[in-house]
Amino acid sequence: MIFLRENKLRDNYIRDQLKRASISIVINIAEGSGKFSKADKRNYYTTSRGSVYECVSLLELILDENHIDKTKYDYFKKQYETISKMLMGLIKSQR
């Protein structure tokens, strides 16, 4: 019984962390776009990209625990890769 509660707590933590990291991607893009200096913009875009990597690692945990099938995992990972590439373009444009 304790094992089940621990799994439930871990699952809730992973779900909540994925939600926070996903929101962080969007919020940091928005905040960065409102900055005037290139260095400030680049910093927010870099933070956003870090949140993308966090989402991917959480997605891998979800896959490892069989809460998502490989097809959905591949789809979401591809979406995160696309976002990461777009953010890299934004980061490079602020040099």
Tell me how far apart the alpha carbons of residues 31 and 26 are, in angstroms, rounded to a whole number.
9
Tell me how far apart the alpha carbons of residues 55 and 71 are, in angstroms, rounded to a whole number.
17
- Give pLDDT, residue 51: 98
- For the record, the structure tokens of 66 come out as 């069989």
Render pLDDT for 29-75 as a digit per residue (tens, 0 to 9). 999 999 999 999 999 999 999 999 999 999 999 999 888 999 999 99
- Give pLDDT, residue 6: 62
Q: Which of 79, 76, 59, 64 is nearest to 15 (CA)?
A: 59
Tell me how far apart the alpha carbons of residues 6 and 61 are, in angstroms, rounded to a whole number.
15
Q: What pTM, to 2 d.p., does this model score?
A: 0.89
Class of domain 2-93: mainly alpha
- Give pLDDT, residue 40: 97
